[in-house]
Amino acid sequence: MIVAALALLSAAPAGQEPDLDCANALTQSDMNACAYQEFKRADAALNAQWTITTAQMKERDRDTLRPEDTRPGYFDTLLAGQRAWLTYREQHCASEGYLMRGGSAEPLLISGCQTQLTDARTAQLKSLIEEY
């Protein structure tokens, strides 16, 4: 049994999960893993958009901030909002996961929530620079 488990682990390159057929996931473990993969995709898209949006906000700061305006700039305001949003996402999704608290589906609910909120936040970040 241990030899079979080691063979399965060595089949995938180090640091890479074995391929999952997420369209046909049947076990809770596979559904959880697929939901987590989807969240990782959403998080990568968010990080890419964050880079674009923050660059634009820093440019706005350079172009429009005046010494007499003592309020935080575009970037500082965005950064504070993003930090608050990250805390919100983690806490809100933990509470959604509590619908299955302690159960095998709890990670599925958390990852699904994180994906949904992350996709929405990515769209928000994109709209900040499109509306300007």
pLDDT digit of tens for each residue in the chain (132 aa)? 444 443 444 444 455 556 889 999 999 999 999 999 999 999 999 999 999 999 999 999 999 888 888 899 999 999 999 999 999 999 999 999 999 999 999 999 999 999 999 999 999 999 999 966
**Could you tell me which CATH class the domain 29-65+72-130 is placed in?**
mainly alpha
Q: pLDDT (tens digit, 9 = 90+) per residue, 63-96?
A: 988 888 889 999 999 999 999 999 999 999 999 9
Q: How far is it, in rounded angstroms, from Cα 57 to Cα 129?
A: 8
Q: Does this model's pTM top 0.75?
A: yes
- Does residue 14 come out as left (phi exceeding 0), alpha (psi in the -120 to 50 range) or beta? beta
In 3D, which of 74, 88, 63, 87 has the Cα closest to residue 125? 74
Cβ atoms 80, 72 nearer than 8 A: yes
Domain ranges, ordered by start, for the chain: 29-65+72-130
